[in-house]
Copies of this chain bind each other. A is one copy, B any other.
Amino acid sequence: MIEPYQLSHHNAQHEAAHQRKFTFLAEELGSETAERILARLIDFQIAIPSWALGTGGTRFGRFAGGGEPRSLEEKIADVGLLHALNKSSGAISLHIPWDIPSDGEAIKQLAASHGLVFDAMNSNTFQDQAGQAHSYKFGSLQHTDARVRKQAVEHNIDVIRHGEALGSKSLTVWLSDGSSFPGQLSFRKAFERTLDGLREIYAALPADWKIFVEYKAFEPNFYSTTVGDWGQSYLYASKLGPKAYTLVDLGHHLPNANIEQIVSLLLMEGKLGGFHFNDSKYGDDDLTAGSIKPYQLFLIFNELADGMDARGLDHATGLGWMIDASHNVKDPLEDLLQSVEAIKLAYAQALLVDRTALENARENNDVAAAQEILQAAFRTDLRPLLAEARLRAGAAISPLGLFREQQIRRKLIETRGLKAVATGL
């Protein structure tokens, strides 16, 4: 999609302005700091979920764009394009059954040709598929009917098998299980059945795999959710064993939750496994990362960076980083480029925090100084660092700019058609 000469041409055009800004910034930060952050930014990769490549929707409808990927191969091509533009999207997260590969090895090679690896696999027991024996209308692992639970367990094991073939190393289990009305559910039995099912899935995990137990406060169930908050996810994960972790999706909380504190405590307990980035104002709005509460995103990364260092976790590989958003009114690829940029900006700001000064302020209860330290990092314009990291990694100075200059959406529509609909939601 993007030819090397196009990239070079683009970068050549923006080079002078970039160098001016980067040089100034690097001098202000000091080159040691600048290089330290640059190195981490170059390493940092955020997985793109296959289902975010098409237009999303709400229960009221969906307004499709055009040129959406019609197959797993086209999804990989789209992520490959993003990665070519920003060199920060070097992984793809698949969803079964939407993305069952007909030939795992061929798919693996196709991905590799784009520089992509396979991140966490995602199972689906929140929808009924055509021809499915038992319905998930009343849940999957929590279900009162043992046959439904068995079907759900087997599906998850099947997803693991697909993932093994592709070189994935983790399974994300998001259960929509819960209830919409008081009385509908025995909370205890639902918990116990779900735990039993997770244990069976856990037993099928390869030795070097992780399982991520995702929680969510509400939706699509509107009274209770069986993995409803971090405390419940933690209970499951700690009962399951050392390969089980909690996955945090930013949109899956009650109003006003302090997500950064949750992240910090889960890291402390060794049970934070991965992250789904997005942003929201009301519920699980699945908006572009950093588009509503960028300071919160920074505060979360502030805890992540600090907490991972405290546990000796590698920033790039210690946790699973993934976007999980729904693109209802924007071009999905543009939206993903914006999300990656916002995530990396928040990460860079977190890396800029003067930790020694911060700890010192904290020890002295100097609240104003602690705030100044965080705000100083957040208010510094680190976009030139992000651009420099891209430049060094062989990506575009302005990924979104190049995407538009090359009219990539127009080309995708020409190739795939205006009515193309991505498989999935």
Residues of A participating in the B interface, judged by any CB pair closer than 8 Å: 21, 24, 28, 56-61, 63, 126-128, 135-138, 144, 176, 179-189, 191, 217-220, 222-224, 228-232, 234-235, 253-258, 260-261, 264-265, 267-269, 280-283, 285, 287-288, 290-296, 299, 302-303, 307, 310, 326, 328-331, 334-335, 338, 342, 345, 358-359, 361-365, 367-368, 370-375, 378-381, 383, 400, 425
In the assembled complex, the Cα of A73 lies from the Cα of B40 at a distance in Å of 54
In the assembled complex, the Cα of A28 lies from the Cα of B24 at a distance in Å of 11
Specify which of B135, B137, B231 is in contact with A234 (CB 8 Å cutoff). B231
A268-B370 in contact (CB<8A): no
10 other A-B residue contacts (CB within 8 Å) besides A56-B59, A59-B326, A187-B260: A137-B329, A182-B292, A182-B374, A186-B359, A187-B261, A187-B265, A222-B287, A223-B292, A229-B229, A342-B375
B223-A258 in contact (CB<8A): yes
Given contact pairs A59-B59, A307-B188, A338 touches B282 in the complex (Cβ within 8 A): no
B371-A183 in contact (CB<8A): yes
CB neighbours (8 Å) of A302 from chain B are 183
The 10 closest A-B CB pairs, nearest first, are: A231-B231, A183-B370, A63-B137, A222-B285, A58-B220, A187-B264, A381-B381, A254-B254, A61-B127, A183-B374
Name, among A24, A217, A232, A282, the residue most crowded by chain B CB atoms within 10 Å (CB to CB): A282
A368-B60 in contact (CB<8A): no
| Closest beta carbon of chain B to A193's beta carbon, Å | 12
CB neighbours (8 Å) of A295 from chain B are 182, 292-295
B265-A282 in contact (CB<8A): no
Name, among A61, A224, A307, A400, the residue most crowded by chain B CB atoms within 10 Å (CB to CB): A61
In the assembled complex, the Cα of A307 lies from the Cα of B192 at a distance in Å of 14
Q: Would you mind naming 20 contact pairs between A and B with Cβ atoms under 8 Å apart? A: A59-B59, A60-B220, A61-B128, A137-B329, A144-B363, A181-B291, A181-B370, A182-B260, A187-B260, A187-B268, A188-B265, A191-B265, A218-B256, A218-B283, A222-B281, A223-B292, A234-B235, A235-B265, A253-B254, A379-B383
A63-B191 in contact (CB<8A): no
B58-A362 in contact (CB<8A): no
A368-B334 in contact (CB<8A): yes
| Closest beta carbon of chain B to A375's beta carbon, Å | 8
| Closest beta carbon of chain B to A137's beta carbon, Å | 4
In the assembled complex, the Cα of A364 lies from the Cα of B63 at a distance in Å of 16
Specify which of B224, B261, B290, B291 is in contact with A261 (CB 8 Å cutoff). B224
| Closest beta carbon of chain B to A330's beta carbon, Å | 5
In the assembled complex, the Cα of A28 lies from the Cα of B19 at a distance in Å of 13
B345-A372 in contact (CB<8A): no
B362-A180 in contact (CB<8A): no
CB neighbours (8 Å) of A292 from chain B are 182, 223, 295
CB neighbours (8 Å) of A254 from chain B are 253-257
A183-B229 in contact (CB<8A): no
| Closest beta carbon of chain B to A205's beta carbon, Å | 24
CB neighbours (8 Å) of A363 from chain B are 144
